[in-house]
Each structure stands twice: as structure tokens, then as C-alpha cells.
Amino acid sequence: MAELDTSGGGKHKGGKVRSKKASTRVDLTAMVDLAFLLITFFMFTTTLSKPKAMDLAVPDTSVPQSNLPVAATRTMTILLGSHNKLEWYMGEAGKSAPTVDSYGKNGIRKALIENGKNVLATHAAPNNFMIVLIKPSDKSTYENLVSALDELNITNVQSKAIVKITPMEIADLKKNNLY
């Protein structure tokens, strides 16, 4: 542990008598041991980043589903293309021109918020919220799908679905060099 070295300086012959100065030397071995014990304790007791998952309800394909009529003005379709780009349009395919956009707060998030407000303003009933259809293409990546779902989760979209893309929409992606 700590020890105190009390040896004085050298003995001089014929000199003045001086008081002995005690030099201190502290052994820090125990302090280092304690530091490593604390580090290992905190490493074992803390949790590292927990994986984050989003719950996604998938319908049962063995049970026949009935299609409910939905107003086209309430639907927003997002087409996931290549090069981390996407297209979106409101309503039915071919009736409105798609907008090429990117992911993030200045891209699809801004469009989701604005279109969601427009749908709520035009359809006064409480259950007339916007329905978003995500259609990944063969050229999009899994990261693009996760980013789109994250944006839907951030903007609190109540109804969303992942749907197969149609050939007409693939042609639209090709027209904008996103396929």
C-alpha cells in the first residue's frame, strides 16, 4: 500500500546539522486495482444499445379478404426506386403526376405531413385519415423500405400497407431513371 520513505539525504562530514526531510512515495497499485474493478463493474451492469424494432401487422393470406372501397383522394402511393430516391403521388396511378423525392425531413417526411393535413382538411369525418401504400421495386434496397417505414412512423400515419408494384408504375420509375 502506501509507504513512507524516511531516509534522509547523505551524511556530510563537518557540516551543519539539518533536519531530516521525509520524502513520500505513494504506492498506487491498490488504486489501479480499484479503478479496473469499477470499470468492469460498470461494463457488466450497464446495457448497451438495445435493438429497436417496429411492429408490423401482416394479414393472413390463407383467409380471403374483402376489399373495402376507399376514396382515391385519401391514398398516397410511395414508389421506392434506385439511387436512394422515390416517387410519390396522391390518388390513382396515371391520373396524377408523380413527384421525385428523397428520404428525410426535407423529402418524403415533408410530403407526408402536408398531404396528411390536406386529407384531414378535405375529409371532415374523424376516420378519414390518409392511407399510404408503399410499393418497393426490384431496384430498391431493404434500407429504403426501412427508411420509408420510419418516416411513416415519425409522421404518425395511421394506415399503411406494403403492396406489389404494378408494371405501369415500373414504367413510370423508368421514365424518371429510378429503375
| Domain extents in the chain | 72-175
Three-state DSSP at 34 gives: helix
Cell triple for residue 173?
A: 420509375
CB-based contact 161:87 (threshold 8 Å):
no
CATH 3.30.420 is right for the domain spanning 72-175: yes
Nearest to 88 by CA among 13, 178, 4: 178
CA proximity to 100, closest of 38, 179, 35, 29: 179
Q: Is 18 helix (H, G, I), strand (E, B) or coil?
A: coil
pLDDT tens digits for range 27-60: 888 899 999 999 999 988 887 777 777 777 776 7
Q: Is the pLDDT of residue 5 over 80?
A: no
Strands (E), the chain: 3-5, 23-25, 75-80, 86-90, 99-101, 131-136, 159-162
CB 59 within 8 A of CB 160: no
- What pLDDT, in 10s, does the model give residues 107-166? 999 999 999 888 888 876 667 788 999 999 999 999 999 999 999 999 999 888 898 999
Q: Is 80 exposed, middle or buried (0-12, 13-18, 19+ CB in 10 A)?
A: buried
pLDDT level of residue 100 (50, 70, 90 thresholds) = very high
